[in-house]
Structure 1
Amino acid sequence: MLNPVHLRTVVEVVAAGSFAAAARNLGYTASAVSQQVSAFERAVGVELFERGAHSIRPAAAALFIAERGGELLAAFDGFEQEVQALVTGRRGRIRLGTFPTASARVVPHAVARLTHDRPDAEIRLDEAEPDDVLPLVLAGDLDVALVYAYDLVPRTWPDELTVLPLLDEALLVLLPDGHPAARHQTVRPDDLRDARWIASRDGTAGSTCLTRLCAANGFTPRITFRSNDYGVVHALVRAGVGVALVPALGYEPQDGTQARPLRGTVLRRHVSAVHRTANTNPLLRDALDAVVAACALVEGEHLTRA
């Protein structure tokens, strides 16, 4: 196998015209250059230079090797720089999983910062609920994912994951304008025991949280509509067909609706970033820093950093 160090020496000898000049350019001794050229000649099976008492003359093979070798060395240098950029995070790929409300409120800020800091990096997004993205993180198909857990629906994370708390979201009661409960600054769940409710899909953490909240107050919610799209939930509430319990990231002030915190109980949804502890992607730290910075930008009355 040809040694690229020896190849570089041969190319430099042809360009410099002597072993001594090549040695000065490479920072070697003339003896080291001579030894490397001899080793390369043994590897290719042909003498590359006619050696005189005070000069050398490159053979045709040396000229050919110098021309093609220079191209190879330039390509190798470029490859080496690309690898260095990859391992230092200047280039590479980061794969981010997220859930819909974080996609709308947090992720755009994070992607903007990461794009600014690492313009040559490739950023991929995958949107799904926590139960769907966690297997992808564990399998290595995602580098980091934004996930959530409700106070009344606690969950544990696999031991292989590192969990970084990001945001605490208050749960808000979304009411149509003119609803009697909207006259107060806070709402008791018991005041809505006869209301029609709009909830997320059956079996989701949001739906389970609503059911448990109402059960703790002595009633079962009458759920008449379900949607995982908070835009649809807002539209249904605004149309006056029901009320809803929404996390702060899912709430956007709009005409026709009012949002009120719960009275007498503080319920929150907790947003975290999770990644495999063993993940060595050099862009991971930059991605986490970008997400943390993005969370600072969305802080507000009902959204606080964890």
Structure 2
Amino acid sequence: MLDLQRLKALHAVSVHGTVGAAAMSLGYTASAVSQQIAKLERETRTVLLERYGRGVRLTEDAHRLVEAARELMTIVERAETDLEERKGTPTGQLAIAAFASAARGLMPGVLAELAVRHPTLDVRMSEVDPHESVDLVAKGVLDMAVAHDWDIAPLPAPPGVEQARIGDDLCDLLVPRGHRFARRKTVRREDFDGERWVCQPPGRVCHNWLMGTLRTAGIEPDVAHYADENPTLVALVEAGLGIALIPRLGRGPLPDGVVAVRLDPVPVRHLYAIWRTGAARRPAIAEMVRTLHEHWPRAAEGTPPIGR
């Protein structure tokens, strides 16, 4: 009989593309995942992974097993949902992803409260960008994701995925204290011609929003520096190396050398909880969504607005 955990390991490799990334998503070591797949190869007397450059690729037989794994994981999820729903209590394991600033500014309080209120619920969080997390939920790798989109770049909604709006996160223009915008109450997009920027790398939602917004205003962005984390971007602004558009959630207090200026119109990103339709009846899903809603007002107020 095929072992479900070994099938899950193969499924994770198919989703993430490498044994190392699959291991990270499952909370295992790369060696453990390789051993699981080696055992599955022995059980099936089939080659499942082939060397390809510095990585691996799945054989045709492996792809067939991955499809079977998806079906089995769906059946198991349905059984777990039915059992949890009958008990009426959030329980079991819940794998959730959150983008960086939500993981920092929203999730600690949410996870701490759930741990106290529901000790039989084992929530495991990973920091994952929305471009990846929504797809991972749709594929069954994650149970939930806290994701975001921008007013001009809606979040894609794959089939079989549901979402709930958590709240709206406002975004400010951050400039060095001696910058020409520092004493202004508001700045418009048309004022940005000739400015140097610091922002997240290409492919990130925030980067795509900045590129689209400035180009719509007829300005080709001059990005001098890229960084993944907002605190790094704030440090680059403080050093006078560029200006940045950074949301308030999880940003923390600004250093004395950085000034927040209101952009007109104010950029807004929308936060969502995402889960699969098949798991919608799980009390754990409902409780996570409720707790996210409950904590959002405090998280949204965590960073002082402009003028404070």
Q: TM-score range by the shorter chain?
A: 0.5 to 0.7
Give the aligned partner of residue 197 of structure 2: 197
AA aligned to 1:180 is R
Judge conservation of contact 1:133–1:145 (CA < 8 Å) in 2.
Answer: yes
Within 2, Cα distance between the matches of 1:217 and 1:85? 51
Give the aligned partner of residue 285 of structure 2: 284
What do residues 212-260 of structure 1 show as CA deviations (whole Å, max 9, x unaligned)? 2212322111101011210110110011110011122253332211111
Structure 1 residue 160: deviation in Å? 1.0
Judge conservation of contact 2:196–2:241 (CA < 8 Å) in 1.
Answer: yes
The TM-score, its normalising length taken from structure 2, stands at 0.66
Structure 1 residue 157: deviation in Å? 0.6
Give the aligned partner of residue 252 of structure 2: 252
AA aligned to 2:285 is L
Residue 154 in structure 1 maps to residue 161 in structure 2: no
Judge conservation of contact 1:98–1:128 (CA < 8 Å) in 2.
Answer: yes
Give the aligned partner of residue 210 of structure 2: 210
Give the aligned partner of residue 131 of structure 1: 131
Summarize the alignment of residues 94-243 of structure 1 with structure 2, pairs less than 5 Å apart.
Answer: 94-243=94-243
Q: Runs (4+) of structure 1 moved beyond 6 Å?
A: 83-86
Judge conservation of contact 1:94–1:287 (CA < 8 Å) in 2.
Answer: no
Structure 1 residue 205: deviation in Å? 2.0
Structure 2 residue matching 1:278: 3-state secondary structure: helix
Judge conservation of contact 2:89–2:283 (CA < 8 Å) in 1.
Answer: yes
Structure 1 residue matching 2:272: 3-state secondary structure: strand
AA aligned to 1:260 is V
Within 1, Cα distance between the matches of 2:90 and 2:247? 36
Q: 1:151 to 1:302 in 2, by over 3 A?
A: farther
AA aligned to 1:142 is L
What do residues 98-148 of structure 1 show as CA deviations (whole Å, max 9, x unaligned)? 110000011011101111210222111111111211222122232211011
Between structure 1 and structure 2, the one with the greater Rg is 1
Give the aligned partner of residue 274 of structure 1: 274
Judge conservation of contact 2:101–2:251 (CA < 8 Å) in 1.
Answer: no
Structure 1 residue 84: deviation in Å? 7.8
Structure 1 residue 202: deviation in Å? 1.2
Q: Which runs of 5+ in 1 are unaligned?
A: 1-82
Q: 1:119 to 1:250 in 2, by over 3 A?
A: closer
Give the aligned partner of residue 39 of structure 2: none
Identity rate of aligned residues, in percent?
Answer: 26
What is the aligned length?
A: 220
AA aligned to 2:291 is A
The TM-score, its normalising length taken from structure 1, stands at 0.67
Within 1, Cα distance between the matches of 2:100 and 2:300? 18
Judge conservation of contact 1:167–1:270 (CA < 8 Å) in 2.
Answer: yes
Judge conservation of contact 1:85–1:91 (CA < 8 Å) in 2.
Answer: no
Give the aligned partner of residue 11 of structure 1: none
Give the aligned partner of residue 19 of structure 1: none
Calculate the aligned-residue CA RMSD, in Å: 2.2
AA aligned to 1:262 is L
Q: Which runs of 5+ in 2 are unaligned?
A: 1-82
Structure 2 residue matching 1:108: 3-state secondary structure: helix
Q: 1:215 to 1:90 in 2, by over 3 A?
A: closer
Structure 2 residue matching 1:187: 3-state secondary structure: strand
Residue 296 in structure 1 maps to residue 297 in structure 2: yes
